[in-house]
Amino acid sequence: MQAEIITIGDEILIGQILDSNSKWIAEELNKIGVSVYQITSIQDNKQHIVSALKQAQKNSDIVIITGGLGPTKDDITKITLAEYFNDTLILNEEIVENNKAMFAKMNYPFTEINRQQALVPSKCIALKNNWGTAPGMWFNKNNKVVVSLPGVPNEMKGLMTDSVLPKTIESFNLPYIIHKTILTYGMGESMLAEKIEAWENQLPSNIKLAYLPNYGRVRLRLSGKGKIKNELEKSISIEVGKLEKIIPDLIIGFDENETIEVAIGKLLKDKKQSIATAESCTGGAISKMLTAIPGASKYFMGAIVAYNAAVKVSELNVSKKIIEDNSVVSGEVAEAMAIGIQQKFKTNYAIATTGNAGPTTDVTDKSVGVVFIAIATPTKVFSEEFFFGKPREKVIERASTKALEMLRKEILKN
């Protein structure tokens, strides 16, 4: 079955905002096995809405419209839909009560304009909005569905998740689809694909694998389709188990939104261990990533950004001789920095970076894009040399992610 998404409003057409609502809806529809035929952004104009809707209904079983449901006069979606379905607006008392309660809770006066938000076409099913005052609307005429949702992202997402997606599965009797995401760090997409090729080839025909790469991180998404939920869940869990045996050190978690800094935070908290960073070319980026996690103060002691060579000497105890003998961008200096911060902040682990982020090389003989990363653990210190290319921001981002990846492997060993 096919869907079409229509976005109403000028912000997208004047290039002010990205149409992230449509991306989100498309992704969610694909997850339940509905393919999206077309995405259309149109003006907030009656004629345009009607023509886009007519066109969309030719090709699709379900049309999802977002935007144009605010209380101001220029939002005419609701009236246009009522006309399109030869319908009239009636006051939905349930929605009135819902909105009154919401306003009371926030201590806002409930005005006539707010009451009108509860006016909906009589033939539609009003979908309760727990995040705002404009209800969603579900029209079904001859088994062709049209859904209208507010454009505010969290309201749209709430209504999709709670009402539209389950109702779509039910109305169109869709097969059961389960997704399982496996988060991996530390290997590029093509190498990873080679490593797990045999496993991928033996997957049952109702389970598909998708690679979703993103800067040093590759999400593997298994999508299983079937009629019996229990069997499907069991079958996916067996396949995940097999994969865990093939790449145990690359998998950092199964939560779509987990990041390597979250994974490291959990490990350190569990083990009651601590970390500090000594950063040169990454300029505080690793510290920023680690402290972006709530509760980081439990295991993150602090960082020294030693951007200047003199600071490496005075604050991190790197000897001048090591710098002179090896260049300030070297494995030896990175290791000395790691030991320096580990001792100073009395932590179990330490990360240090030194490199040329570019675009030009100021002070060293090493090329732009070269970064040395050192890790100090309770028992050793070591460093690796990397080439992260350009531009500057990518070098910083890649070096930071790589450093956290190296750290995680060491924590797992101890």
Give the Cα separation of 75 and 64 in Å (integer).
17
Q: Which is nearer to its own copies, 57 or 92 (CB)?
A: 57
Residue 347 Cβ vs its own copies, minimum distance, rounded to whole Å: 10
- Is the backbone of residue 317 left (phi > 0), alpha (psi -120 to 50) or beta? left
Binding of its own copies at residue 94 (CB under 8 A)?
no
Binding of its own copies at residue 38 (CB under 8 A)?
yes
Binding of its own copies at residue 360 (CB under 8 A)?
yes
Residue type present at position 109 = P
Cα 111 to Cα 155, 172, 196: the distances in Å are: 21, 39, 60
Give the Cα separation of 89 and 344 in Å (integer).
71
Q: Which is nearer to its own copies, 13 or 198 (CB)?
A: 13
Q: Which of 294, 324, 379, 380 binds its own copies (CB under 8 A)?
A: 294
Complete DSSP assignment for 155-171: HHHHHIIIIIHHHHHHH
Q: Which is nearer to its own copies, 8 or 263 (CB)?
A: 8
Binding of its own copies at residue 326 (CB under 8 A)?
no
Q: Which of 171, 291, 319, 343 binds its own copies (CB under 8 A)?
A: 291
CB 326 within 8 A of CB 312: no
Binding of its own copies at residue 260 (CB under 8 A)?
no
* Stretch binding its own copies (CB under 8 A), from 94-102, 375-383, 388-396, 402-410: 388-396
Give the Cα separation of 91 and 126 in Å (integer).
11
Q: Which residues contact 204 (CB under 8 A, 6 or more apart)?
A: 235, 239
Give the Cα separation of 152 and 159 in Å (integer).
11
Residue 143 Cβ vs its own copies, minimum distance, rounded to whole Å: 23
Helix axes 77-84, 46-59, angle to 10 degrees: 50
**Within 160-259, where are the H helices?**
165-171, 189-195, 197-201, 229-246
Binding of its own copies at residue 292 (CB under 8 A)?
yes
Binding of its own copies at residue 361 (CB under 8 A)?
no
Residue type present at position 390 = K
Binding of its own copies at residue 311 (CB under 8 A)?
yes
Binding of its own copies at residue 141 (CB under 8 A)?
no
Binding of its own copies at residue 20 (CB under 8 A)?
yes
Binding of its own copies at residue 343 (CB under 8 A)?
no
Interface positions with its own copies (CB under 8 A)? 12-20, 22-30, 35-43, 48, 52, 55, 212, 277, 279, 283-288, 290-292, 294-297, 300-308, 310-311, 315, 344-345, 357-360, 362-363, 392-393, 396
